[in-house]
Structure formats: C-alpha cells, structure tokens
C-alpha cells in the first residue's frame, strides 16, 4: 500500500480513481478504518476523481515514527496529519468527505485551511464549531462509552479487549444485522495497532476537558471553537437508525452554514452510511 512519511508518522493510504482527477480526501471514523470507503470508491471508479483514503494515526498500518511523540488524537492534530499528507502528495486544493472522526477532521480542515478545501461531505457526526456543550442526559446515556474511557478502570478494560469494546459500538449504532462477522473481523485488525487504545482514549478524553490537546494543534482547536459558521458547500448524511447521534441532533444543523447546505436523510441506515448504503 502507498505511504507517506511525516515528521512523526508513517501514513498509509488507499488511492483509487484517476491519478490526475479531482482530488477527494476521504476520512474514516471510529471504530473503523480506511476500508470503510471501499464500496463507495468502487462505485465512483468511472468518475474523474482521485480518491485518497488514509488510515488515521493509531489505526491499522499507520504508525508513529517517533517513540516519544504524543499519542494524541484531538481533531486539530488529526487535521494537521491530513494536511501533511496532502502536502506530501503535492495536492493544493481538494474536497473532503469524513465519517465520524473524519467528519470533525473535515470541519477542522475547512476552518484551518479554507483556501484549500473546495467542498465537504459530513457523515454521522455533528460539527464542533462553536465548542462542545454538555450533552443532555438522554444524549449522555448514548455517550456512555465516552465516560467509560475517562476512567482508569474503563481504560484498563479497553486495553484488555479492544475488539470487544469496538464491537459493542457497531452493535448499538445501527439496525440489527447490518454487518457480517467477516467484515468486523477484517476491520478489527486495525485496532491491533499498538497505539489504537492510546489515541482512542485521548480523542474522547480531550473533547470533554479530561486531557489536553496536542500543543502543536492548539491554534486550530481555538479556531474551531471560535468559528460560528462555514460558507463552503456542504452535505450532511444522517441515518435514521443512528444509535449514537440520532436525527433530532442534526435538525437545526443548517443554521451553522451560510453557504449551500443539504441534509440528506437515509432510511434504514444507522451510524455507518458508507458501509450500510454505499450508493448514497
């Protein structure tokens, strides 16, 4: 598989489509990996697109080159990884599609480098611009795994069984039977990365103030919190059966976008639209 080395990472990525086509960065979420886009990119094979799907830091074959590097995974740090990848590939302007974590990375890219991002599509995870508010009790219940990760015992349990922790999210976040055993077994190999647990814990702890963001990305984290709206063309995909971010959470999402915006509702689809309904 192709890869690119940055100061701290060896980023492995899938690349499909037309070499000189319009660049599209496609970013996976958690708990998932770059293979989440395989069906979608296959369907887009006859378009004039260059599709680049990296494995995020701590997932699958993407590894840290520096043993002392912070195993951080706040959105700003992940967005800086993405820009480093596009810089290394010599790509100046691009569109971005992001699911879950990838959605928040896409948002950070649009805020941090607005001159480089043409348009974006977000799947299943709400933008964080303006800052995260304490969730309602009902939403906090859905976010149980966030709070579990904030505890020492929770962290130990996840370290002992990362596959089991990831699987229960897959089971809870979509309709019964939406995935098969072979698919989960294949994807869960990416969770064997030696830094998967560390980046996972940091990602969820930092968003609620239980950890500090990577200092190198503090400027971008501040900018995301200070930004109230975006103007670039945006599409948001929402599964009606999403068990963690249900449809009511995105009903007023259009208010955060001053430019062209569309919210697309998907019937009988949960949190993983690109896997559940790749023809979206």
Examine the pLDDT at 279 and tell me if it is beyond 90. no
Say how far apart CA 149 and CA 232 lie, in whole Å.
34
The single residue listed with the structure tokens 């130990």 is 156
Examine the pLDDT at 244 and tell me if it is beyond 80. yes
What pTM, to 2 d.p., does this model score? Answer: 0.97
Calculate mean pLDDT across residues 148-164. 98
Calculate mean pLDDT across residues 192-197. 98
The single residue listed with the structure tokens 């296959």 is 42
Q: What pLDDT band is residue 46 in, cutting at 50, 70 and 90?
A: confident
DSSP-assigned letters across all residues of 20-89: TSEEEEEE--TT--GGGGHHHHHHTTTSSEEEEEEPPTTSTT-EES-TTS-----HHHHHHHHHHHHHHT
Q: What pLDDT band is residue 280 in, cutting at 50, 70 and 90?
A: confident
Examine the pLDDT at 151 and tell me if it is beyond 80. yes
- Say what the pLDDT of residue 278 is: 93
- Please answer whether residues 196 and 58 qualify as being in contact, where contact means their C-beta atoms are separated by less than 8 angstroms: yes
Render pLDDT for 62-103 as a digit per residue (tens, 0 to 9).
999 988 899 999 999 999 999 999 999 999 999 999 999 999
Report residue 25: phi and psi, to 5°: -90, 125
Calculate mean pLDDT across residues 121-133. 97
Mean of the per-residue pLDDT values for the chain?
97
End-to-end CA distance of the chain: 27
* Alpha helix (H) residue ranges in the chain: 38-43, 75-88, 101-112, 137-142, 144-149, 152-160, 162-172, 181-187, 196-207, 218-226, 273-276
Calculate mean pLDDT across residues 140-168. 98
- Say what the pLDDT of residue 67 is: 87
Calculate mean pLDDT across residues 150-174. 98
CB-based burial, 126-158: b 16+ in 10 Å, e otherwise: bbbbeeeeeeeeeeeebeebbeebbeeebbeeb
- Say what the pLDDT of residue 15 is: 97
- Say what the pLDDT of residue 181 is: 97
Say how far apart CA 270 and CA 186 lie, in whole Å.
20
Residue 261: name the closest of 122, 79, 125 by CA.
122
Calculate mean pLDDT across residues 204-232. 97
Domains of the chain (ranges, CATH numbers): 3-276 (3.40.50.1820)
Render pLDDT for 17-26 as a digit per residue (tens, 0 to 9).
999 999 999 9
């Amino acid at each position: 598989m192709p890869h690119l080395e940055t100061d701290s990472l060896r980023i492995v990525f899938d690349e499909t489509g037309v070499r000189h086509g319009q660049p599209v960065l496609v970013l996976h979420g958690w708990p998932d990996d770059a293979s989440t886009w395989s069906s979608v990119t296959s369907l887009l094979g006859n378009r004039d697109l260059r599709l680049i799907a990296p494995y995020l830091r701590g997932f699958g074959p993407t590894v840290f080159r520096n043993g002392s590097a912070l195993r951080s995974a706040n959105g700003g740090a992940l967005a800086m990884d993405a820009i480093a990848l596009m810089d290394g590939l010599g790509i100046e302007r691009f569109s971005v599609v992001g699911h879950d974590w990838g959605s928040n990375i896409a948002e950070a890219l649009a805020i941090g480098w607005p001159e480089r991002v043409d348009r974006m599509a977000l799947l299943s995870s709400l933008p964080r611009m303006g800052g995260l508010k304490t969730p309602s009790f009902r939403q906090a219940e859905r976010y149980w795994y966030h709070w579990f990760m904030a505890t020492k015992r929770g962290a130990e349990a996840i370290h002992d069984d990362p596959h089991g922790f990831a699987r229960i999210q897959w089971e809870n976040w979509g309709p019964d039977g939406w995935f098969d055993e072979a698919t989960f077994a294949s994807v869960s190999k990416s969770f064997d990365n030696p830094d998967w647990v560390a980046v996972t814990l940091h990602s969820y702890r930092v968003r609620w103030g239980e950890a500090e963001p990577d200092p190198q990305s503090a400027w971008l984290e501040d900018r995301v919190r200070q930004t109230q709206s975006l103007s670039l063309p945006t599409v948001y995909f929402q599964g009606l059966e999403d068990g963690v971010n249900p449809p009511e959470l995105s009903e007023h999402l259009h208010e955060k976008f001053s430019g062209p915006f569309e919210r697309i509702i998907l019937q009988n689809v949960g949190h993983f639209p690109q896997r559940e309904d790749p023809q979206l």
